Amino acid sequence: MARLTEMVFGGQKGNVEFYESHKYSTWALATGATAFQPFNNIEAANLRNYDKGQNIFKQNQGRILALRVSFHGPAYVNPTLQTGATFATLTATQDYNAFMAQARLSILQDSQLVHEDLLSSYLPYAPWIYQAPDAGSPTAATRPLTFFDPNDGNGNNYKASKWGIVFRPPLVVGAGRSVDFQVTTPPGYSLPSTLNGFYVRFELVTEELPQSSISQVRPA
């Protein structure tokens, strides 16, 4: 159901009808990839719920309230970063951490940079993993217990899940104006084969503004 809110754009005050809309875009990681453009109609239809025309809004104008990012296994299942019983099988854990720590995310309005961030602002670092040593001489194959310790990258326990970024004030996209998203990695880096098939999902919390006439990018 639509709601009414009082907003000020360009000095004009009025009741503007809007409705909240959540949009997502998914990067299916592939070996050798170095960049991705979320919300740009480049992923398969089953990996998104938007359709970009002049911009990402159905009525070609609206506000972006928040952005969050999540990491998944293929088909959005829980990611499996350990595939065996030894540290030699933890490569995906290490490679996820290296990717997440180096990738950057940018937002551009009419080709002008309006927001720049680290992917690590949205996703936790890979957990520390501890494996108990073998004890004795078992007659049958055994798998020692593996311990996981959440990691916030600063040597402290990761006490809260990262939700994302709330834009204050919101990112305002006027009628017909463009908004683009870019994820980039440093020169010389490319996604390793261990991350092939994993998903990185980008979710926007937006307000569709079907009637208002707005033009500012981020009004004060």
Span 9-21, average pLDDT: 59
Other CB atoms within 10 Å distance of the CB of residue 185: 18
**Which one is predicted more confidently, 93 or 33?**
33
pLDDT at 179 over 90: yes
Burial (CB count within 10 angstroms: exposed 0-12, middle 13-18, buried 19+), residue 109: buried
Query: CA 220, CA 206: separation in Å to the nearest integer?
Result: 18
Which residues does residue 62 pair with via DSSP β-bridges, in sequence order?
Answer: 173, 208
pLDDT at 80 over 80: no
CA–CA–CA angle 197, 201, 202 (5° rounding): 150
pLDDT at 126 over 70: yes
Note if the bond before 169 is cis, omega within 30 degrees: yes
Spell out the SS3 assignment of 142-207.
CCCCEEEEEECCCCCCCCCCCCCEEEEEEEEECCCCCEEEEEECCCCCCCCHHHCCCEEEEEEEEE
Write down the pLDDT at residue 39. 97
CB 130 within 8 A of CB 150: no
Query: CA 133, CA 186: separation in Å to the nearest integer?
Result: 37
* Chain segment 88-106, per-residue pLDDT in tens: 566 788 899 999 999 999 9
pTM over 0.85? The answer is: no
**At 180, is the pLDDT very low, low, confident or very high (cuts 50, 70, 90)?**
very high
Residue closest to 214 by CA, chosen among 170, 173, 159, 167:
173
Span 150-172, average pLDDT: 62
* One-letter identity of residue 70: S
**At 157, is the pLDDT very low, low, confident or very high (cuts 50, 70, 90)?**
very low
Span 19-31, average pLDDT: 95
Write down the pLDDT at residue 13. 40
Helix, strand, coil shares, percent, the chain, to 5 = 10, 40, 45
**At 211, is the pLDDT very low, low, confident or very high (cuts 50, 70, 90)?**
low
* Mean residue pLDDT across the chain: 78
Write down the pLDDT at residue 21. 92
Write down the pLDDT at residue 23. 96
Write down the pLDDT at residue 136. 66
Query: CA 78, CA 91: separation in Å to the nearest integer?
Result: 17
* Chain segment 186-209, per-residue pLDDT in tens: 999 999 998 999 999 999 999 998
**At 154, is the pLDDT very low, low, confident or very high (cuts 50, 70, 90)?**
very low
